[in-house]
Amino acid sequence: MARISTYAIDTLDGNDKLIGTDQGGATKNFQVDSGETTPGGGQGKSLVNYITEADGRALAFLFHNSTFGGNTSIQSGTINVSNSNATTAFSAITTLKVSKFPYATAIQSNSNSAVNILSEYVGERIKWSDIKNPNIYGIYECVAFAQDGNTSFYDMTLAYKSGNGNFMAGDNTNTFPDIYLLELFGTDKNFTFTQSSAASTWNVTHNLNKFPSVSVTLADGTQVEAEVEHTNKNSLTITFSGDNSGIAYMN
């Protein structure tokens, strides 16, 4: 067989096929676009988008502004900024409305929710980036993630850290969708608690969904050991022999 570099470069077409191995180990041809209910079909023609969603820590969504891609309401598989223009600077975002269904799964006949993994982003540093251009990105701390009533949409509260560019809706239709990738960006979850008034017991709600290690620095800058009792994965108490104020770091 000739080297792959000797073949002419082509673009994907709905009738193209890819060679691969199925779950049973048999070699088969796979059609790129075989209809609305397949990962490569209809609105899901971005094969890259489907592949990235095989990574449980990376999810993709279509960005819409206030006209919902020409629809009358917010759509499954999208992220949305209410009352936004076609272009919204990453630095201007404080809240995104996020579908619990990522873009590729949203067009399937049996959609799969990603709400559990989405809730894991709380307390993490995350990155939203243009799937076609990684230099277009916004980095945030995910402060909160709460359901919008009884809908399948959630409000993701964000604290902007850095970035380059904007969320763009393009022509605000699905003809040229603007797909953005959500990824974890940075270190493990952490939380800083400040006890302003002196007390012998500090009650801490950290919402890290784990049992973190704890280090304590008193108001005078002294690092001390204290008794730590984990109430559950989201809260703990720190107990001293006397009253103290200061800062507790959880990691």
CA distance 101 to 59: 9
pLDDT of amino acid 7 = 65
- Torsion-angle region of residue 200: left (phi > 0), alpha (psi -120 to 50) or beta? alpha
If you average pLDDT over residues 138-152, what whole number do you get? Answer: 93
Q: Where are the domains of the chain?
A: 36-184, 191-250
If you average pLDDT over residues 219-229, what whole number do you get? Answer: 91
pLDDT of amino acid 228 = 95
Computed on alpha carbons and rounded to an integer, the radius of gyration of the chain in Å comes to 23
For the chain, how are helix, strand and coil distributed in percent, rounded to 5? 10, 45, 45
Residue 99 has pLDDT above 50, yes or no: yes
CA distance 97 to 174: 18
Q: pLDDT category, 39, cuts 50, 70, 90?
A: very low
